[in-house]
Amino acid sequence: MAKSSVKFKDCVAQFESLTADIAARRFAPIYLLAGDEGYFIDALCEQLSSSILSEAERAFNQITVYGLDSDAGAIVNLCRQMPMMGSYEVVIVREAQNLQRIENLAHYTSKPQQSTILVVCYKNKEQGRGIDRRGSFYKSCVKNGVVFESVRPRDYEIDSWLSAYVARCGLKMQPKAMSMLKEQLGTDLARIAGELQKLTVSLPEGQTTVSDDDIERYVGISKEFNTYELCGAVMRQDVARAMRIADHFGKNPKSYPIMVTIAVLFGQFRQMFLMGYLMWQTRKRGVPFPSDAELMRILGVGNPFAIREMKENIGRWNNRRLFNILGLLREYDAKSKGLDNGGLDQDELLRELLLKIFSQQ
């Protein structure tokens, strides 16, 4: 599964389908939950572990083992046990990526018992490879159970998931609050979900709309000093404000790592470059300029508020300048990783980068 062809939107659709099946008690005998996005794996495992058996039954019929502390033979034997005073025996294998000779689980998964539900949680290692799709274990899981491939979102895919998750929490979020949350937490779904859960219990009773003040108060993200505000200041060419924010970032490098800041700036300038190109096509070739809804799709933007801001700022930047700045951001991304940076630390690099952006013609 190291090179999964599953797209994030398909992963989300399967996740929602599985959560509905589990809630309706339509269980499969085997669940192989694998991939590089731990949030979905943990959420499905938690739902299964708390839904299949009652609390009383779990004491007798639910067993959790860890890959590093177990072996495939012992897990096969556990799966072949009959349940005591219940309908199911539930065996959960966490951190299965650490299980030696995982292929040997095929001795069970090729012919599973209907009275046992096996849940295997396999989180792909950062530098390793996933489960071999050609192996008998994977193939038998596909044939006799459910295989769920958990995929990390790309930056442009997070908006739709975040909007849907906010709605499921029973909340509405103002555009600036949404941008603050996204820019600070990136694509870390577990952190985003955790912060939103905190919000649901922290907001005053009856309040369902989340503002930037709420994000600052309950999540701890400054509404004045954050990457969203830095991008806004840069796009408006507000040099003084941008440098104040950069100074705050320099004093708090762990909270505002320069590589993340550069990535966010690069994404913003890339979107501006694409919008500038579309405007050029309209002027020079008579191609109709896209609607806001179409722009959101083309630019990978999740809300019309961001489109409106870009339209307000695009006149300050010509496409030659934007193109040069994209090259500059690539150069400073390499410098932030230690390549030919002249010994400058993070805050010095960021200030130097911003001054060069503003001086571009």
Using the predicted structure, report yes or no on whether residue 21 has a pLDDT greater than 90.
yes
d(CA 217, CA 215): 6
- Which two structure tokens, joined as six digits, stand for 164? 């849907």
- What is the share, in percent, of the chain residues with pLDDT greater than 70? 98
- Which two structure tokens, joined as six digits, stand for 238? 């507000």
Where does the pLDDT of residue 3 fall: very low under 50, low under 70, confident under 90, or very high at 90 and above? Answer: low
Q: Do 48 and 19 contact (CB within 8 A), yes or no? A: no
d(CA 96, CA 294): 43
Check: pTM over 0.75? Answer yes or no.
Answer: no
Neighbouring residues of 318: CB distance < 8 A, sequence distance ≥ 6: 276
Say which CATH topology domain 227-359 has. Zinc Finger, Delta Prime; domain 3 (1.20.272)
Interval 160-195: pLDDT, tens:
888 888 988 888 988 888 888 887 787 889 888 988
Say which CATH topology domain 8-150 has. Rossmann fold (3.40.50)
Alpha helices in 169-318 (DSSP H): 175-185, 189-202, 212-214, 227-235, 239-251, 258-285, 292-299, 304-313
d(CA 357, CA 169): 40
Q: Which DSSP helix (H) or strand (E) runs through 31?
A: strand 30-35
Interval 39-48: pLDDT, tens:
999 999 999 9
Residues of 160-184 as b/e, b for ≥16 C-beta within 10 angstroms? Answer: ebbeebbeebebebbebbbbbbbbb
Q: Do 118 and 93 contact (CB within 8 A), yes or no? A: yes
Predicted pLDDT at 2: 44
Say which CATH topology domain 155-219 has. Helicase, Ruva Protein; domain 3 (1.10.8)
Where does the pLDDT of residue 301 fall: very low under 50, low under 70, confident under 90, or very high at 90 and above? Answer: confident
Using the predicted structure, report yes or no on whether residue 345 has a pLDDT greater than 90.
no
- Alpha carbon of 47 to those of 40, 147, 188, 294: distances in Å? 11, 16, 20, 37
d(CA 90, CA 336): 48
Residues of 23-61 as b/e, b for ≥16 C-beta within 10 angstroms? Answer: eeeebbbbbbbbbbbbbbbbbbbeebbeebbeeebbeeb
Neighbouring residues of 56: CB distance < 8 A, sequence distance ≥ 6: none
- What is the mean pLDDT of the segment spanning 14-43? 95
- What is the mean pLDDT of the segment spanning 53-68? 92
Higher confidence at residue 287 or residue 2? 287
Tell me the backbone φ, ψ of residue 42, rounded to 5 degrees. -65, -40
Q: What are the structural domain ranges in the chain? A: 8-150, 155-219, 227-359
Give me the residue label for tokens 């309209």: 282
